[in-house]
Amino acid sequence: MKTDIIKFTNDKKDDKNKLKKIANTLRKGGLVVFPTETVYGLGGNGLDKAACKKIYEAKGRPSDNPLILHIVEFNQIEELVEEIPEVAKKCMVKFWPGPLTIIFRRSDLVPDEATGGLDTVAIRMPSNEIAHEILKEVNLPIAAPSANLSGRPSPTETEHVIKDLKGRVDIIVDGGHSIVGIESTVLDVTVDPPMILRPGRITLEDLQEIDSRIKIDSATIDAKSGEAPKSPGQKYKHYAPKAPAICFGGGLDKIITEIKKNIKENKGKKIAVLASEESYDEYKNEGVHLLLNLGSREHLEDVASNLFSALRQCDEENVDIIFAEGYELRGIGLSIMNRLLKACGGKVVMRI
């Protein structure tokens, strides 16, 4: 399949034509990768069974893993859900548009192909401007999982998408860097109390300001709990880089000491270290092959924003082993750790 790469230019007429082309492709059941503030999405018409099926095929994703429907106007939600609980209304007012996905009981309009056969549906209103323009032009709920091949880190740059999906989709829209960098927070309001199934940039603490009873699915941060995660997508090994990765927890001094020790023990191997602004210099003279500074511990939103690019870089450089610094298990730190623990897959050694 030929994939068109489209970039908006700020030439009004030209951009309008591009938008029309994108919307037509989606209406005809085609696939369009578009930027959002979290990660790039692999979009198709969420009300079209065949388009939803194509999304799974393009990603190589198991079809029991449900998709998120993306909307741009509040009134679009009414025909998609059975009811909007009070707590959801408050969350929508406060956090939409933005990186929060909410799970509702679904209406009959939503096909099984979009929800993996579940009687619930995930809906989100992204804040990215290009996503907005596309969703407005097409005026349909767009089903969009992260635009990576299944098992790869979610894409936060157009180059990541091109690498994974060129030749597998009709259009890739180039929107530069995805600023949030980790996928949206997923909140299930069909249970009482509401439960976070996937942590993201909107934190547990943010949501508890709306309803203090909101909980987080403990399986999202405990790779070894043995409990099945409540969100189907969380049970798959995600974001796994090719090399084994080890995440070190505890205070920063202890983390640095442990990582240095492990660098010595692995002498001769191509080592990658995922460091922070505060620790970066500590590893400079340790003979590390790939040393990455994800950002300051004082600004964890930067660390989140750079994380997936860093994991992809480890693959590009074909490193043998990855040592990653851990972060505190609260606020955005908890969302970062959720992704890091997944990146470590079965090979996680969390030393606290």
Q: Kindly tell me the burial class for residue 255, based on how many C-beta atoms sit within 10 Å of its own C-beta (0-12, 13-18, 19 or more).
A: buried
Distance (Å, whole) CA 315 – CA 337: 20
Distance (Å, whole) CA 260 – CA 282: 9
Answer yes or no whether residue 146 interacts with Mg ion by CB under 5 A: yes
What tokens appear for 329 in the block?
A: 């298990």
Answer yes or no whether residue 335 interacts with Mg ion by CB under 5 A: no
- The minimum distance between CB 306 and ligand TXA, in angstroms, equals 16
- The minimum distance between CB 172 and Mg ion, in angstroms, equals 17
Residue of 204, 173, 186, 243 whose CA lies nearest to 333 = 204
Those residues with Cβ within 8 angstroms of residue 63's Cβ, 6 or more apart along the chain or in another chain: 53, 56, 113, 116
67 vs 172 by CB, closer to ligand TXA: 67
Helix (H) or strand (E) segment spanning residue 184: none
- The minimum distance between CB 207 and ligand TXA, in angstroms, equals 15
197 vs 256 by CB, closer to ligand TXA: 197
What tokens appear for 220 in the block?
A: 């999202």
118 vs 252 by CB, closer to ligand TXA: 118
71 vs 303 by CB, closer to ligand TXA: 71
Binding segment toward Mg ion, per CB under 5 A, in 87-95, 103-111, 138-146, 260-268? 138-146
Give the residue carrying structure tokens 């299944």. Answer: 150
Answer yes or no whether residue 231 interacts with Mg ion by CB under 5 A: no
123 vs 255 by CB, closer to ligand TXA: 123
Between 14 and 53, how does the x/- string for binding to Mg ion read (CB under 5 A)? ----------------------------------------
- The minimum distance between CB 69 and ligand TXA, in angstroms, equals 9
Number of CB atoms found within 10 A of residue 114's CB: 29
Q: Which residues bind ligand TXA (CB under 6 A)?
A: 36, 38-39, 41, 65-68, 101, 103, 115, 118, 120-122, 124, 126, 144-146, 183-184, 186, 197-198, 231-234
What tokens appear for 255 in the block?
A: 């983390």
96 vs 308 by CB, closer to Mg ion: 308
145 vs 249 by CB, closer to ligand TXA: 145
- The minimum distance between CB 151 and Mg ion, in angstroms, equals 10
Q: Nearest to ligand TXA by Cβ — which residue? A: 233
186 binds, among ligand TXA, Mg ion, none (CB under 5 to 8 A by kind): ligand TXA
Q: Kindly tell me the burial class for residue 280, based on how many C-beta atoms sit within 10 Å of its own C-beta (0-12, 13-18, 19 or more).
A: middle
- The minimum distance between CB 239 and Mg ion, in angstroms, equals 8
- The minimum distance between CB 124 and Mg ion, in angstroms, equals 13
- The minimum distance between CB 147 and Mg ion, in angstroms, equals 9
Distance (Å, whole) CA 219 – CA 208: 19
Number of CB atoms found within 10 A of residue 188's CB: 21
Distance (Å, whole) CA 217 – CA 330: 14
Distance (Å, whole) CA 48 – CA 127: 24
234 binds, among ligand TXA, Mg ion, none (CB under 5 to 8 A by kind): ligand TXA
Q: What three-state secondary structure class fits 74?
A: helix
Tell me the number of residues near Mg ion by CB under 5 A: 1
Distance in Å from the first CA to the final CA of the chain:
49
- The minimum distance between CB 148 and ligand TXA, in angstroms, equals 8
197 vs 223 by CB, closer to ligand TXA: 197
Residue of 299, 72, 35, 31 whose CA lies nearest to 165 = 31
23 vs 263 by CB, closer to ligand TXA: 23
Distance (Å, whole) CA 83 – CA 107: 9
Q: Measured over all CA atoms, what is the biggest interatomic distance in the chain, rounded to whole angstroms?
A: 61
Number of CB atoms found within 10 A of residue 268's CB: 7
305 binds, among Mg ion, ligand TXA, none (CB under 5 to 8 A by kind): none
The binding site for Mg ion (CB under 5 A) comprises: 146
